[in-house]
Structure formats: structure tokens, C-alpha cells
Amino acid sequence: MLSTSSQQQHHLFSSYRALGLVTNHVPCILRIHQRHSSHLLLTAIGKVFHAYRLNTLQVLLVSDSHPDDIQVLASNSRLVFVAVGSTIYIYRRVFHLYQTLTDHKGNIQHLLPFGDDHIISIDESNTLRVWDIQSASIYLSLEFNTKNFHITSLLHPATYVNKLLIASRQGTMQLWNIKSNKLLHEFFSNDTNTNSITILTQSTVVDVIAIGYNNGQIRLHNLRYDETLVTFTQDFNGPITSIAFRLDNIPHMATGSSTGHICIWNLDTCHLISQVRHAHKQCSIAALHYIPGEPLLISNGNDNALREWIFDMPDGQSCRLYRERCGHSKSPRCVRFHDNDIILSAGNDGRLRTFHTILDNLSRCFGRTTRYKWEMELNENEDDNDNDNNEDCEQPLPIVDLRCETIKENDWDGIIAVHEKRRRISAWNYIRAKRSQHRFEHERFATKVYHNVEVIATCCDISPCGNFCVIGYSTGHIDMFNMQSGLYRGSFDDGPIKYSAKNPHKRLKSSPYATAHSYPLCGVSFDSLNTRLISCDTNGNMKLWRLKTKTLLSSTSIINHENINSNIQITKMNIHRDSGLVSLAFNDYTIKIYDYDTMIFKCIRTFSTNTHTNEITSLTFMPDARWLLTTSLDKTMRIWDIPSGQLIDTMEFDQAIITLAVSPNGDMLATGHTDALGVYLWSNRTMYDNSIINITNDIDNQQLLVGDFQSPEQISKNLITLSSLPESKWKNLLVLDTIRQRNKPKEPINIPKQAPFFLPTVSNLRGFVFINPNDENDIKNKDKKQTHIHQTQKFLYESSLTNLLDHQKINSSLSNDVIHLLKDFGMAKIEYELRCLSPEQGGSLERMFIFIDILKQAFDNKQNYDLISSYLALFIQLHGTSLIWKNEELIEKIRNIQLKQKETWFNIQRQLNTSIALVKDVKPFDSSCEHSFVSDISQRQSVIKLADEIFSRIQSYPTIIVNAAGITRDSLLLKMRDEDFDDVIRVNLKGIFLINQIFCQRLLKEKPIELKASIINISSIVAKYGNVGQCNYTASKAGVESMTKSMAKELGRVGIRVNSILPGFIQTPMTDKIPDKIKEKFLLSIPMGRMGTVDEIAHVCLFLASNKMSSYVNGASIDVTGGF
């Protein structure tokens, strides 16, 4: 499936296998093995062939891939022949390549095994060759004139030694002697019937063959007397494609047609006895084979189906379907992983199937969906010329979208499907493997309002709890249904909330005709907590809904429609629930990723370069949300790395991918392609080959929104950090003795009396011990004066922990090194290391003092609180009774560190209680009152849009405005660029001007009388004193300071107070990056000797915003600098 250029490269995904491919248009062959009871059925699948067990139709093996598609299959009792292009591949034992024949100039069209030692082939140039298999040489070559005799079929008549019967398109046949190279006889040379012969088959009677014509006629002809015995004619239009004779002593003949029907003829009475209509739907019968001695008929066709029919009906003439193996008859359009091993697939044939990635016998078909009778009657575009072909079957409804949830599949339906150009959604049950009785459709669409409106379901989703499903329509509606009962559970409406006049707290139901969007939906999805719904339409409007009340939480338009000629629309949407990311594909082939957890749909990545060159067909996230996979009609799949914003791999295919899915554990990728009937699996090479990841694209070609981020070990000195280790690494340190006692074996280990003969041993009182030759040499080379006791003492005196304590001084780095060392140890190792600190175990009091100081230093750092507490408790448990309580200095140190531990714990408890109280206070408030918006304050239209969004959300304008937005572009005056100066002025000065002007105009228009509002402009102390490298920044902040004075005089008379705050050096993440030496210089100029905090600025803002505390403060500039 990969293109030739991509096969020569290393990619992140490698081809694994194809699922759902059974057969194609190449006639299957029945290989009868005389020595074995089990026979084989061989079918061609593109470049490979499959071998099936005839008794179960289970795959026995799959051949190696050939250079091109297989055109013809043939076999004899020993060998299998495969024609690929102009080459013949000969296999022994089905899978072992035995010989290769290459001499044809054109593609081979016919193969016929001639005995056990020869094979006859005919290519498109009408040249016949007879090959000697063992020597791979040409025994005979004949060339025929295509105008006079165009070969269409070959047959080796039974009992006719060295004879070959050749049929032509001109309706004549020739009988040749291969050994003597002579034409023996020509049949039908004077016959007026000039119809082309399509098939030749040997009958069960010697000298009698069956001849099939392209006009649907079958002729039984006696070769010995050149006489036609009987003639049959099928009523179906089209040629005879296959003929088979029953081999269980019943005179029946089966014929296949190009329309997919099978006819059963009685040769005794010479009439038709039964038909199998639509044995293979909308395709011709490729081959028919009766199984010797069994009432079974095998058929295959181009509908990717292999079927077995049994003649056991009461009339003794008709048959029924006994066993089948099939896949999709049309290309799949939607693929989803049900779990790590099961794949759900649906396509243009209207069938829902499951494929097991490992075991083919676990694959199932759920049936198919068809148009209802009333839909068939209303369809005026159908061609009535094929009524005879469609009288027994309803037209399938292609499935274009599929969603599944496994949590409730044992109780009720867990699968829903969207059908092409239909508003009705079908439900499926995975356990029962069939379609459900529920069909989701709102009754509004049956009213006269939508009688002439084409309503199409465009998207759907199932909630994570499995109880509800939502459906998005082309009309902008979003409806929710219950999966268990199939009942309607409400619609989403973006209009204003209406309340009852009698009961203001009772919310009225919205109109059933109200829409959630004004444009067709392109995607809907639940979030991971099952509390919100995300929807998006083709016009770029993304909305976030509260699921319980079906009210709108936020709305964002992500497409700029200022350009009237802009035709940009969203074509695809995919959501990663766990990370809160939304990926969108646009019709200009741009791909964007948004974060909906921010409530404002913030764009975090934009891929506009190195992207696709045609319509994007599918996109999906990897399970860890690190990669985004996109496919397009340009026959490529591109893999984007989201953290770095780069294109890391591009894979080219022979056919475009229209759907793809990733397994839940990320080890497998499933794809569906145009004009391909199978589902293709690809393995993730990063699971077993880390060297495959190679980012080759230039980083400057991508839009990087964030840089490399490294999380600090301690975010803030005011916080207390716990360790990230699992509890099993420290929680059971105090009960190790209990664990050892519990795990102690009840009986001694049984030692074998005798060791294996090939291992060197020495006998002793307990039995034997093993001898290691390397250990003997080491002992001989050691000094004889060194004893085993001395070695043990030396080991007890030194350990990794004691070596670290003896060679380092007490500081913060030593504390971190010791903690990191203990983190890598197991619990038993930690106990042993702490036990070695005692003088009785080879340690010393100095080491114990140092270790206690290290624990105290760790408490001061406010890191790894749980670990340090466990280590301290274990230390006291090991040395308390024997040593600590006998040494006054140790007692004093233990008391100090316990006081530090209590102080830290009280700090944790205080912060925890504060957080709990805050949550309790905030929880009663309606969260709909809290909103956040994104705007570029340097652009007037963006600020106007911001004001409109705020008013639409809270139905009023804010009366407290804090202008805190600002940027820096620091550089010396002689090196500063014009754009750096303009950017700072535009945001820091013009942005505050636009915010104040537009919102004040709206406020005065809304509340011209008794207005009480407060505007707080955040300036900077550098506006007064200047700062090196900040000419642009100081100028902008000085302008804010002067603008505040003028605004206070203009707006004070209408009830709007305007003040400014001049912060000094405030402790923020930006100032944390300043070197310590520079910080020390700053602190020397501050009388209070410290930097300010953000809370201190917020308290001043609170003071100026209050109409009670600062009702008479206007035009003031407050320095918050600590006396700088």
C-alpha cells in the first residue's frame, strides 16, 4: 500500500497486515490433495494469495508479496502457479518458491497445468507457450493471429493424452496435439453463431465439455463426434463467467453470470431447476467449484466474498448459504478501535464489521443498513432500468461516521452510525452483533417546516458514561438522546435563557425549532468528565455547552470573516478528551489545534507550512496527545509533533487514506483507503525502536508558540512539595520486620541431592556447593594475610551513604544528593544504610549528626516532605532505644528537627484549610458568572468585539477596569529596532487608550445617570526614574501616567474615577530569572530590603476599585515600591 518512494525510507509506522481481504476478481482454485482429507482453496488478493482450509474457510497461510498484482492462479496435485505480469511463479507446498518462468513479452492472461511436468501460458500478445517445469525451459511456442483466433479459454480434455482444446473470441475452437505440434481439428468453423466463447469446462462424462458464451448461452458439446448435445440459455444479460458440474453422482450443472446470479440446471431433464439470486451482489461470479463427493458448491466474486452453498433443501434441487468468509464489498469509510484487539469498520456497503487484529476467526458481521420502502418511493433520481436487478435487494446506506463506547455495552447499545445524506442515526449492539431497534431522529424534521429542507446528520458522539448520544445536523441543530430507551432528551439552544413569569427561578423549555448553530455542524463531542459538550460548525464557530442544563458557556469564532471574499471553512474536527485538545482541518489545508479547557478555545498550534496539497480526509491524535496524524486526498499521511510544532514524518501511499484510527495503547494504526476493500494495520515503530524518531524538518518553517519548558523542582518557596515516588518506596519503612516475618518461608528450601553432571561442585555436610573458576583465581591472587573477617569489617565500615557523608560538607547540594541517593534505593537498602550510621555497625556519631542536619536542611527546603518524615521516623526507630536517648547532643538535634517538622506540618494544614474554605465559598456561586476572553487590545476591531462578547455574556458592561496588559522588548537605545519600539507603544499605551475609550463610551451609553465606575491603569516606577535598555517601555509607562491624569479630569464629572499604580520590583516568574548579583543591587536601593509580591499590588487595586474605601480618590498615582 506504500508508494515505491516511501518503501525505500524509514517511517514511524511500518506495514503489519491487512484485514478483511478475502478474494478479488481472479477465479479461485480448488486444490484437491489425494493423500490428505483436508483440501485447500486459493484466492488472489492483490499482490498475495491466501490459502484457506476448505472445511472451515479459515486462513492457513498468506504468501509473500509479489512485485505486482496477481492476474491468474492455477494448480495441479503438487504445485501452485501464480501469474504476475509476464512472470510465472511456481510454489511447492503452497508457500515454498520452487521455480520462476520469465520469457513472456506481455502480461499473462491464462494458465493451464498440463499434467505434472508442464504448464501452458498465454499472454496478451496471443502467444501460447508450453513450459517444462523442472528445467524451466520452453517446450513449445505458438503464435496466433488475434484477428482470426483470439484465445479466451483453455482446456485439457479428460483422457485426451497430449491434447489441448483452445477457445477463441471468434466463437471457434481448435484441438491441438502438443507433443507433435499439430492442429487436429477445428470446431464451429462453419457455424453461424459468432458469439465469443468465455469459458470451457470438462463435464463428468468423457468426450463432453461445457462451453459458455458471452450472450448467456451454454452448450454441451461432444468432442469425439463434434456434435452439440443440448443448449441452455440464461435469462440474465451478460456472459457466462463460470461453469461447474456436480461430483456426487447427481446430474446437475451450475453456471455463473456477470450479474452475480447462479443457475442450477438438471442435465437429465435439460431444464432450469433453481436459481441463487444475488449470490454475489453487483459483481460477476468469478469461479464455481463443486466439492468431490459432497453436495457443496464454492463460489467467489469481486465483492470480496467467498461463499459455500449446500444442497440440503427438501426439494433436493435448491441450495442455501452454508458458510461464508467475506469482507467489505465496498471501501470502508470509517474505522474505529473498539479495544486494543478489535476494530470496528463500516463503509459504502452499509455493513458494520469487526476485525480481530490477531485471530481472524473472531471477526464478525453485524449486518447492513438499507433504505426503507418509503425512502425508495420518494427517491426520484433512481434509474428504473435496473428494476430486475434490484427487485430482491434494497440499496445499502453508506456509513460515513461511527462512534462507540464500551462501558455499557453489556447492558444496552454502545455503537451509533451516521449514514450518508440521511438524518436518521442507527444504533448497534456489540454483544448481540446486530442492529438495534432504536433509530434516533427528532420529530421536528417530519413537520411541514422541514418538508422542503434537506436535513442531514453530519456528526455524532456517545458520552463517556455510555448513557447519552448527541447528533449534529446540517441545519445547526444538536439533539441528545438516551442510549438505553432511545428517547429524546433535549436540544441545545444558543438563545437567551427564558424564565417563567410566575416563578422566576423556573426555566422555560426552548423551542424545538431553535438551533445551536447557524451553519452545518462538522463535529460534536463530550468532554472527559461528561459535563460539557464541544461543538463546531463549518463557519468556524466553536461553542462550549453545559451538558446538564444545555446552556451555552462560551463561544468563539476562529475564522476571520472581515475579508468578504474569504471562503475558508472547517472540514474536519477531532477531539482528544483527556488532554482537552481540539484539532481542526480547514479547506485551505491548514491545521490548527485548540485548547477548550481554557473556556475560550485558545489556539496553541497552527500548521500552515509543509501541509497537505488536497482536501484533508481524516485527522486523529495519538493516545498521549503528543502526535497528530492527518491524511489527505494527496495520498499522504503527515505526522505532526505537537510539543515542538514540527512535521516529523510524511508517508506516501498508492491510494489516498479516507479514514484512520489509533489503538488505545498507541501500538497500532488502522487505515482505510479509497478503492481498497480492506483495513490496513501499521505498527508503531517507536514502541520497539527508539532510534527511528528523526526530526528532519527545519524548525524555522513552523510556528512555535512555546519554547522548551522544564518544570522546576520547587515552584514557589511558599509551597511545600511532596515526593513523586510511589507509596511503596517509603510508606512501609516502619513495618519492614512485619513484612519479613510474613514473607518468611514456612519450610526450608529443598536442596537437590545431586547437581547436573556438567556443573562443577564440591560436596559438603549439606550436600554440595557450586564452584566458580573465576572466584578461585581471585582468591589465589589475594594477599594471604587478608582474612574473611577483615573483609566483612571493611564492608561494614563503608557504604554509598557513609562515603557521601564523609567527603562532603553540609549544604543544600549535599542534602539533595543524599535524598536522590535514597530515592534510588529499595526499602531494605534504605534500612541497611541508616543502620550502618550507628557506631555499633561501623558508623560514627559524626555521621549521625550530619544525617540529622541533612534532614533538617531538607525540611527547610520544603521538598519531599513525606519522604523526609519517613526517613526520620525510621532513624528514630533504629537508634532510639540503643543510642539516641543516651546522648544529650543527639536528643537536642532530634528535638530541633521535630519542631521543624511540626512547623512544616502546621503550614501544610493551614494552606489546606485555606484552600478548602476557598472552595466552599466559591462553590455556591454560579460558574456562568466567571468568564475569560481573548483579545488583541492594540487593534480597535478586536477591542470592539471584546466589548460585544462581554455584553452578550453578562448583559452589561464592567464598571471596574484594570489595565494590566503589557509587553517588553528590551534593548539599548543604539541597537533598538523600530518594530520593537512600535510594538511596545502599541500594546502598552495605545491598548490602554482603546480599552478605556471604547468601554467608557459603552458605559455612558448604558448608564448615563448615577454611574459609579473605576479605571485602574498599571504603570511602572521606571516611568519616573528610567531604566537601562528600556527606552520604549519607560516611554509607554510614562504616557500611561500622563494619560491617567487627563482621563481623571475628563471622566470624573460623569462618575468614572481614573487612577494609576506604579509598581516597583515585584517578585514574579519573570524576575526569578534575574541573576542573584543583580537582585542584590536592587535590594540595596529598597529601604524595606525585599521585593514586593503580587498580592500587595492586588490589594491596592482592590482599594482603588472600591466605591466605599476610595470613593473620593481620582487622578492619583500610588507608588508600590517599598520606598524605592
Q: Which three cell numbers stand for residue 872?
A: 526520620
- Tell me, which fold does domain 932-1120 have in CATH? Rossmann fold (3.40.50)
Q: Give me the long-range contacts of 290-294 (CB less than 8 A, separation at least 24).
A: 290/244, 290/245, 290/246, 290/247, 290/248, 290/254, 291/30, 291/39, 291/54, 291/247, 292/32, 292/247, 292/248, 293/247, 293/248, 294/247, 294/248
Mean pLDDT over each residue of the chain, to the nearest integer: 84
**C-alpha dihedral sign at 771, 773, 777, 780:** positive
> Any idea where the domains of the chain sit in the sequence?
23-143, 329-372+395-557, 562-706, 727-745+786-918, 932-1120
Beta carbons within 10 angstroms of residue 888's beta carbon: 8
pLDDT at 709: 46
The per-residue pLDDT for 1024 is 87
The confidence score (pLDDT) of residue 332 equals 92
- How far apart are alpha carbons 884 and 114 in whole angstroms? 99
H or E, element range at 561 = none
The model's pLDDT over 863-880, given as tens digits with 9 standing for 90+, comes to: 888 888 888 888 888 887
What one-character-per-residue DSSP string does 758-816 give? TS-EEEETTEEEE--HHHHHHHHHS-TT--HHHHHHHHHH--HHHHHHHSS-SSHHHHH
Per-residue cell: 676: 481498497
Report residue 551: phi and psi, to 5°.
Answer: -105, 155
Q: Domain 23-143, what architecture?
A: 7 Propeller (2.130)
* Low-confidence residues of the chain: pLDDT under 50: 373-374, 376-393, 562-564, 694-709, 779, 782-796, 925-929
Distance CA 235, CA 271 (A): 13
Query: 364-368 and 399-404: which strand pairing?
Result: unpaired
**Quick one: CA torsion of 348, 352, 358, 361, rounded to 10 degrees?**
-110
**How confident is the model over 116-173, as pLDDT tens digits?**
899 999 999 999 999 999 999 999 999 999 899 999 999 999 999 999 999 999 999 9
Largest Cα–Cα distance of the chain, in whole Å? 128
Please name the residue ranges forming H helices in 972-1030. 978-985, 991-1006, 1022-1025
pLDDT at 429: 93
Task: Please indicate whether residue 16 is annotated as part of the active site.
Answer: no
Query: By three-state DSSP, how is residue 648 classified?
Result: strand
pTM exceeding 0.85: no
User: What cell numbers appear for 309 in the block?
Assistant: 452453498
pLDDT at 792: 42
Sign of CA dihedral 990, 996, 999, 1002: negative
Spatial neighbors of 838 by CB under 8 A, at least 6 apart, are 848, 878, 879, 882, 883
User: From CA 494, how far away is CA 11, in angstroms rounded?
Assistant: 46
Nearest to 173 by CA among 181, 161, 184: 184
pLDDT of residue 634: 93
Candidates 822, 825, 828, 823; CA nearest to 851 is 822
Domain 562-706 - what CATH class? mainly beta
In Å, how far from its chain's centre is CA 368?
A: 26
Rounded Cα distance between 416 and 404, Å, is: 7
Predicted local confidence at residue 6, as pLDDT? 61
H or E segment and range at residue 927: none
Between strands 108-114 and 342-347, the pairing is unpaired
What is the Cα–Cα distance from 1124 to 1109, expressed in whole angstroms?
A: 26
**Residue tagged active-site, from 89, 91, 139, 1033:** 1033
Count of residues making up the chain? 1124
**Chain Cα centroid distance, residue 468:** 23
Select 329-372+395-557's CATH number: 3.40.50.300, 1.10.287.130, 1.10.10.60, 2.130.10.10. 2.130.10.10
Do 329-372+395-557 and 562-706 fold alike per CATH?
A: yes
pLDDT at 707: 38
